[in-house]
Amino acid sequence: MALENPGGLVTRRATSSDWTGLAGIDSVAAAGDHARGVSIRRWCEQGVVLVAQDASGPVGYSVLEYTFFEQGFVTMLMVAPTARRQGVGTRLLKATEAWCTTPKLFTSTNVSNHPMQRLLQFAGWSPVGLLHGLDEGDPELFHLCPNIRLRGGVDHG
pLDDT at residue 147 in the model: 72
Q: What is the mean pLDDT of each run of 10 residues along the chain (157 residues)?
A: 61 94 92 94 96 92 96 95 90 94 95 95 94 94 82 45
pLDDT at residue 8 in the model: 85
pLDDT at residue 1 in the model: 46
pLDDT at residue 151 in the model: 54
pLDDT at residue 38 in the model: 95
Architecture of domain 2-149: 3-Layer(aba) Sandwich (3.40)
pLDDT at residue 115 in the model: 93
Whole-prediction pTM: 0.86
Apex 88 CA angle, 83 and 49, nearest 5: 110
Domain ranges of the chain: 2-149
Task: Write out pLDDT tens, residues 23-50.
Answer: 999 999 989 999 999 999 999 999 999 9
Residues 92, 78: Cα–Cα separation, whole Å: 9
CA distances from 85 to 10, 23, 79, 107 (A): 17, 20, 9, 20
pLDDT at residue 7 in the model: 62
Burial (CB < 10 A; 0-12, 13-18, 19+), residue 55, is: exposed
